[in-house]
Amino acid sequence: MDVSTIPVLLQRLDKLERSNRRLKLSGLAVLFGLAVFGLMGQARPLQTVEAQEFVVKDAGGVVRARLGASPSAVSLSLSHEGGRASLVVSGGRGQGAHLAITDVAGKIKGLLLLNPETVGLYLSPVDATGPPKSPRVVFEVLNQGTGGFAFFDRNGVARTLVGAVSDDGSSFASIYDASGKQAWKAP
């Protein structure tokens, strides 16, 4: 072998070694990618998410929904764009379950209540749970079986009552005047 060919051979050997290193790194990257892809296929979907509260905010950062729990109750509230709750569903061991519909000011206009003593629906243009001197409609059934409808005027005076009042199933209907005096009754 000629001395003049040695530098050419060394150059070719160096080029071959670089090519071999690139091939090994490429093979290792492909192998790593396949391993990661294979492991991703083994991951199980999330079965349970646990938290004490979940909050959903709109793009402006306003809370639009809240689901939370405390030791005594759980509640879900949905809010309008102003951030005030307009629908609240809650329930607890002693207080029963509630479904409240509120206006922009936060006054409860409709309330569905289920508790150990009663099942009731309360509606009012002012505040269904609020001041006794407000118009409202009440439908209530007590757990012992009695109950009925009551219509109140804007002064909070009962104007019409219809219901069942005793265990024997007897019922009644009464209409009252503006002063609260009974104007008609059946039976």
In 3D space, the residue among 92, 149, 146, 147 whose CA is nearest the CA of residue 123 turns out to be: 149
Q: What is the pLDDT of residue 166?
A: 65
Average of pLDDT values for 27-43?
Answer: 75
What is the DSSP track for 113-136? EE-SSEEEEEE-SS-TTS-SSS-E
For residue 94, pLDDT over 80 is answered with no
Cβ-contact 4, 11 below 8 angstroms = no
In 3D space, the residue among 122, 161, 166 whose CA is nearest the CA of residue 144 turns out to be: 166
Q: What is the dihedral of CA 126, 131, 137, 140, to 10 degrees?
A: 140
pLDDT-based confidence at residue 174 (cuts at 50, 70, 90): very high
- As a whole number of angstroms, the distance between CA 85 and CA 78 comes to 5
Average of pLDDT values for 40-54?
Answer: 77
Q: Which residues neighbour 90 within 8 Å (Cβ) at sequence distance 6 or greater?
A: 73, 74, 75, 76, 97, 98, 100
Higher pLDDT, 183 or 9: 183
pLDDT-based confidence at residue 162 (cuts at 50, 70, 90): very high
pLDDT-based confidence at residue 145 (cuts at 50, 70, 90): confident
Q: What is the pLDDT of residue 182?
A: 92
* Region for 101 from its dihedrals, namely left if φ exceeds 0, alpha if ψ lies in -120 to 50, beta otherwise: beta
Higher pLDDT, 112 or 45: 112
pLDDT-based confidence at residue 184 (cuts at 50, 70, 90): very high
Task: Measure CA 139 to chain center.
Answer: 26
Classify burial at 185, counting beta carbons within 10 Å of its beta carbon; exposed 0-12, middle 13-18, buried 19 or more: exposed
Whether pTM > 0.95 for this model: the answer is no
Q: What is the pLDDT of residue 132?
A: 65
